[in-house]
Amino acid sequence: MITKHPDPDVLIVGAGPAGAVAATILARAGARVRVLDRAIFPRDKLCGDTVNPGTVAILKRLQLAASLDACSLPVVGMRISGENGVVVDGRYPAGTTGRALLRRHLDGMLLEDAMAAGAQFEPSVAVRRAILDDGRVTGVVLDRGCELRASIVIAADGRRSSLAFGLGLASHPVRPRRWALGAYFDERVKTPASAFGEMHVRGSHYIGVAPVPGGLTNVCLVREWRTGDATIGDPAHAITRALADDALLRDRFAGARLATTPVVLGPLAVDVTASSVDGMLLAGDAAGFIDPMTGDGLRFAIRGAELTAAAALDALAHGWTGARRRLAQARRAEFASKWRFNRAVRSLVASRAAVNLAAAGARIAPSVLRRAMVYAGDCV
C-alpha cells in the first residue's frame, strides 16, 4: 500500500545495498528521500555472502552496519584453485579482514540505517517504468498504475532493472551468458581451518564457497547455459553434481545436505550504455554488472552508491547540467582499473597453464601475490 507523502527530492527504486546506502547519504544531507522495493524485508538474495576489506572500511567510514562484526565471520584472504588441483592462497595485509554474513542481515542493517537517517521506505511496491516529460525522467509508474513524482529518480533496482532496461540503457550481452545457482548446505560441510574466501575455477564453471554464521555454507555455482539445457531446471542436482564431481570439494561436502532451496539467477552480465539520463541516475547492479571473482561485488554497489548520491546532491543544488558527465567520469576513475583486474583474473583462471604459472609465482615471489591480494581486497 502506498502512503501519501509530499513529492520527495529523490525517489530511489530498490532497497538493496546501493539503494539503502544512497538513501542514507542523501537523507543525512537533508534531502527528502523515499525508497521503494518490490520485496518485503528482510529478504534473501543470491550472493557470495562476503564483503572484502575495502568495503568493510567504507561501511565503517560511513558509520553504517554497526553490528557487522557481531553477525559475521572473518575472511582473511582469497583461495583460488584451478582445474588440475593447484591451489593459490593469498592473505589480505596484516590487520585487515573481510567479513562473511548472510545478505539478508547485511541488507537489513543498511536499510535500517537509511530509515534512521530519515528516508521513508515503502515495501512490496513494484515499479513498471519511468515517466518521461520532454526527455527528462520526472517520476515512475507503479504496477497498479498510479504515478509517483520526484526531482530525481535513482534506479537501484538490480540486474533486471525495469527502469534501466525500459529506457534502453541496459541490455544482456550475447556473451558471456553465465547463470548463477546458489544454495546453503548444512553444518556437515567440513570447513577448512583458515577462513579464506574460496573460488574454485574449472573449465566450464566456477564454484564459490563461503562459510557463514549459523553453521551454514554458501555455495554458488556459475556457468554458461544454453537455451534448453535441462540441468538449469534442476538446480539442486546441478549444484550437488558439480560438488560431487570436483576432486577438491567432494570430500568436504560428502554427507552434507542442502539446507535451502537453490536460487537461480541469470544471465548475469549487464551492459549499460550510460550511467544516467536527465532526471535519473543508476546505482548498483542497475548501473552494469559483471560477475566479480574477487569478492568485491558489494564494493561496486556501496562505493557506487556514494558516487550516485554525490551526483544527486550536486544536481539538487546546482541543476542537472553536467551531472551525468561528472558521474560517468567518477565511476570510470573509481572502477575502471578494478573492472580490468577482474577480467584479467577471469582470463587467468580459465587457463590451466596460467593457474600453474600463478601458483609457481606465488611460491617463488610471494610479495607479488601479497600485492595482488591488497588490490583484490581493495585494502589500499
DSSP of 41-85: SS----S--EE-HHHHHHHHHTT--TTTGGGSEEE-EEEEE-TTS
Q: Enumerate domains of the chain plus CATH numbers.
A: 10-45+103-173+269-347 (3.50.50.60)
pLDDT tens-digit map of 333-347:
988 777 676 666 655
Q: What is the mean pLDDT of residues 265-292?
A: 82
Q: What is the mean pLDDT of residues 213-229?
A: 83
Q: Is 235 helix (H, G, I), strand (E, B) or coil?
A: helix
For residue 58, the model assigns a pLDDT of 95
For residue 88, the model assigns a pLDDT of 78
Model pTM?
0.89
For residue 170, the model assigns a pLDDT of 87
The mean pLDDT of the chain is: 85
For cell 536499510, the residue is: 111
Q: Is the dihedral of CA 234, 236, 241, 247 positive or negative?
A: positive
| Distance, CA of 164 to CA of 284 (rounded, Å) | 11
| Residues 302, 59 contacting (CB under 8 angstroms) | yes
For residue 212, the model assigns a pLDDT of 95
Grid cell at residue 75? 575472511
For residue 242, the model assigns a pLDDT of 95
Weakest-pLDDT range from 2-11, 212-221, 274-283: 2-11
Weakest-pLDDT range from 23-27, 104-108, 122-126, 177-181: 177-181
For residue 229, the model assigns a pLDDT of 56
For residue 165, the model assigns a pLDDT of 92
Task: Evaluate if residue 376 carries a pLDDT over 60.
Answer: no
| Residues 283, 308 contacting (CB under 8 angstroms) | yes
Q: Which residue has the higher pLDDT, 259 or 94?
A: 259
For residue 377, the model assigns a pLDDT of 52
For residue 306, the model assigns a pLDDT of 96
CA angle 169, 174, 178 (to 5 degrees): 100
Q: What is the mean pLDDT of residues 207-214?
A: 94
| Distance, CA of 142 to CA of 372 (rounded, Å) | 45
| Distance, CA of 195 to CA of 94 (rounded, Å) | 14
